[in-house]
Amino acid sequence: MENQILHSKIYEKPETTPMLIFHGLFGMLDNWGTLGKKFAEDREVHLIDLRNHGRSFHSDIMDYTSMSDDIVNYCNHYQLQKVILLGHSLGGKAVMECSIKHPSLVDKLIVVDMAPKAYPPHHQAVIKALQSVDFSRINDRKEVEEALSAYIQEPGIIQFLMKNVYRTDKEHFDFRFNLKSLTDNYTQLINKPISFGIYKGPALFIAGENSNYILKQDEFYIRQQFPKEKLEVIPKASHWVQADNPVAFYDAVNHFLNV
């Protein structure tokens, strides 16, 4: 089971360096649809669902080692030799781990609003909201929204989570992500830094101006493991950098890929 291949949407462009894009916690590849198409104008792009997310396989195991192995298995399956890895948030931790453990696979690394460090747990309200949804009693999507809004005030986060709601049949709904595995493994995922090691290739770290995920003092620790790192702060952007300021985000990534 652990050798299953991650689900993806591929924009093929032979003779280019493939770009693999990974979403964050509770996300899915659809979150990157618009930017994915834009990047695909110049290169092959793979939008990928992490394990326990989207249409990828479910597993009780959810850690950085397994997510790194998933990326390697994916590349082997599609016979990709050298790739650009881009990951946002949890996806950022996954691509950092992979670049440290399998540097020869990675041409360039892009990490969006995430440092290689441990973070304090901070998704408790979201987890509580998701666990409060009783799909055995829910008849339409509006009821899911109402259940989530009892715990979450931000409409943007509610809509982000609602993208995961789908019909299992004519009468029932569910979340696409594996809520049990994500909540069971949440604390050790958040509380754990990536493995120690060094990736010597080019690495772009992108931070949101209004986000506190990458602090000024974090750059010292980032440089210890990613000595060729470049930090770019995107103005008018929170943790969802690519959604808040997609033009500046695209320009920063494109410049890094073309230098």
Q: How confident is the model at residue 171 (pLDDT cuts 50, 70, 90)?
A: confident
Rg of the chain over all Cα atoms, to the nearest angstrom: 18
3-state secondary structure of 133: coil
The yes-or-no verdict on residue 155 having pLDDT over 50 is yes
- What's the rounded Cα separation, in Å, for the pair 180 and 184? 6
**Whether the Cβ atoms of residue 191 and residue 121 lie closer than 8 Å to each other:** yes
89 in active site? yes
Half-sphere CA count of 41, side-chain side, radius 13 A: 7
The yes-or-no verdict on residue 5 having pLDDT over 50 is yes
- What's the rounded Cα separation, in Å, for the pair 58 and 168? 16
For the segment 81-116, what is each residue's pLDDT rounded down to a tens digit?
999 999 999 999 999 999 999 999 999 999 999 999
The yes-or-no verdict on residue 259 having pLDDT over 90 is no
Residue among 56, 89, 99, 211 flagged as catalytic: 89
For the segment 107-148, what is each residue's pLDDT rounded down to a tens digit?
999 999 999 999 999 999 999 999 999 999 998 999 999 999
- What's the rounded mean pLDDT across residues 171-195? 96
Q: Which residues of 65-81 are buried (b: 16+ CB within 10 A; e: fewer)?
A: ebbbbbbeebbeeeebe
**Tokens encoding 142:** 């509006």
The pLDDT of residue 2: 52
Q: How confident is the model at residue 11 (pLDDT cuts 50, 70, 90)?
A: very high
Element (H, E) at 147: helix 141-149
3-state secondary structure of 127: helix
Q: How confident is the model at residue 3 (pLDDT cuts 50, 70, 90)?
A: confident
DSSP string, 35-101: HHHHHTTTS-EEEEPPTTSTTSPP-S--SHHHHHHHHHHHHHHTT--SEEEEEETHHHHHHHHHHHH
| Average pLDDT in the chain | 96
The yes-or-no verdict on residue 164 having pLDDT over 70 is yes
The pLDDT of residue 18: 98
Q: Residues near 250 by Cβ (< 8 Å), separated by ≥ 6? A: 35, 38, 39
For the segment 18-39, what is each residue's pLDDT rounded down to a tens digit?
999 999 999 999 999 999 999 9
Length of the chain measured in residues: 259
The pLDDT of residue 139: 86
The pLDDT of residue 1: 44
For the segment 191-219, what is each residue's pLDDT rounded down to a tens digit?
999 999 999 999 999 999 999 999 999 99
Regarding pTM above 0.85, the answer is yes
Question: Are β-strands 45-48 and 8-11 bridged in parallel, bridged antiparallel, or unpaired?
Answer: antiparallel
The pLDDT of residue 154: 94
